[in-house]
Amino acid sequence: MDVVSPEAPGVRPRLAIVLFNLGGPDRLESVKPFLVNLFTDPAILRVPALIRPFLARLIAWRRVKPATENYRILGGGSPLLQLTRDQARALEQALPEYEARCFIAMRYWHPFAHEAVRDVAAFHPDEVVLLPLYPQFSTTTTGSSVTDWAECARRYKLPETTLICCYPEDPGFIAATAALVRQWVDQARATLAQSRPDTGLRVLFSAHGLPQVIVDRGDPYQYQVEQSADKIAAMAGLSASEWRVCYQSRATPQKWLDPSIEAELRRAADDKQAVVIVPIAFVSEHSETLVELDVEYRELAETLGLPGYFRVPTQNSDARFIAALADLIRHRHPGDPTQPRLPCPGRFGECPWRRGCAYPLA
């Protein structure tokens, strides 16, 4: 059971908020089963079901050693669950008009969706809201989590369920993130002014990559990442020449989204510019930020001779970000709980995912 809850009951509506996230191994012994769960997901490893379990175990076996070393750097496990618990507490407190209780449903490690569904049913809420901690929708993240939730929820009689599928252009999310970007850009410029006053600065919005074929089949992730970056850059006061979108964490030999963060770091080195890295698709610190960005790509930047490397922290429990999530819940658009449309119609402009996709929740 992984529930964060206020003590006092009341006459306020009882609202169950389910926070979706990836999850992460809680100790080094959990790394291999975490990877097996990850690659067994048909949304991740898109091969025939008959061979997926065998191929998933083979990939996990090949990747367990470097992944274990990454989590060893983090002290033996992922910080993601604790950070999500902190976000849950803050979000409950930001919704005083409800008797709100947050439940955590991780996709690939505990607490799983089946645990969260059981706890939600025991809470007897008046309404359930599914809130992915992925601002941009992808079939590999939110889509996978919602499908998993639907399968687990069939065994329970839950009340009206509303999905907030994505919020790539939500004004609160954009403002909260832009404030962090502005703060760190100002700090980077002040630092460079003291030692290398003639050095230019480039902002790189880095998102987890996807195989190009997934986007070509209609996944809106790249589109939404670019929309988020464009809005955040504008609000942070960046000109079009001062920022780029790039992608990290390539995991297979096939073509992935371009440009890669490696290519953009090399370009910045050629231009003799320092960089500020913004994790655009992550709202909590985890291995892709604390190891890939803070260790691996920082080392690459130093090897390339970049004059400066700065990394904006993720939102975590930033008060502005939590307030944005609370407003998303307040302004949710309930619909048919068995066939919600993705994304919420009319909220975020011309998303190519608007037509033709639905995920059953019950």
The domains of the chain, with CATH numbers, are: 3-167+319-330 (3.40.50.1400), 171-311 (3.40.50.1400)
Residue 67, φ and ψ in degrees, nearest 5:
-65, -40
pLDDT score of 190 = 95
pLDDT score of 4 = 55
Categorize the per-residue pLDDT at 7 as very low, low, confident or very high, splitting at 50, 70 and 90.
very low
Categorize the per-residue pLDDT at 10 as very low, low, confident or very high, splitting at 50, 70 and 90.
low
Categorize the per-residue pLDDT at 165 as very low, low, confident or very high, splitting at 50, 70 and 90.
confident
Instruction: Give the SS3 label for residue 70.
Output: helix
Give residue-wise pLDDT tens across range 257-267. 999 999 999 99
Helix (H) or strand (E) holding 26: none
Which residues are within 8 A (CB) of 24 and not within 5 positions of it... i.e. 6 or more apart?
34, 71, 77, 78, 79, 80, 81, 106, 108, 109, 286, 287
Please check the confidence at residue 308 and state whether its pLDDT lies above 50: yes
Bridge partners, residue 274, by sequence: 201
Categorize the per-residue pLDDT at 314 as very low, low, confident or very high, splitting at 50, 70 and 90.
very high
DSSP 8-state secondary structure symbol assigned to residue 241 = G
Percent of the chain with pLDDT over 90: 78
Please check the confidence at residue 68 and state whether its pLDDT lies above 70: yes
Percent of the chain with pLDDT over 70: 89
Please check the confidence at residue 8 and state whether its pLDDT lies above 60: no
Relative to beta strand 99-106, strand 14-21 is: parallel
87 exposed, middle or buried (CB, 10 Å; 0-12, 13-18, 19+)?
buried
pLDDT score of 337 = 39
pLDDT score of 120 = 98
Give the C-alpha distances (Å, rounded to integers) separating 144 from 20, 64, 139, 150, 359. 10, 23, 6, 10, 10
Residues 133-158, mean pLDDT to the nearest whole number: 93
Please check the confidence at residue 1 and state whether its pLDDT lies above 60: no
Please check the confidence at residue 164 and state whether its pLDDT lies above 70: yes
Residues 162-187, mean pLDDT to the nearest whole number: 95
pLDDT score of 217 = 87
Pair of tokens at residue 356: 């033709």
52 exposed, middle or buried (CB, 10 Å; 0-12, 13-18, 19+)?
middle
pLDDT score of 342 = 40
The model's pTM is 0.90
Please check the confidence at residue 341 and state whether its pLDDT lies above 80: no
Instruction: Give the SS3 label for residue 120.
Output: helix
Number of Cβ within a 10 Å radius of residue 281:
24
Segment among 26-30, 154-158, 198-202, 331-335 with least mean pLDDT = 331-335
pLDDT score of 291 = 97
Please check the confidence at residue 89 and state whether its pLDDT lies above 60: yes
Q: Tokens 């002290």 sit at which residue?
A: 75
Please check the confidence at residue 174 and state whether its pLDDT lies above 60: yes
Instruction: Give the SS3 label for residue 111.
Output: coil
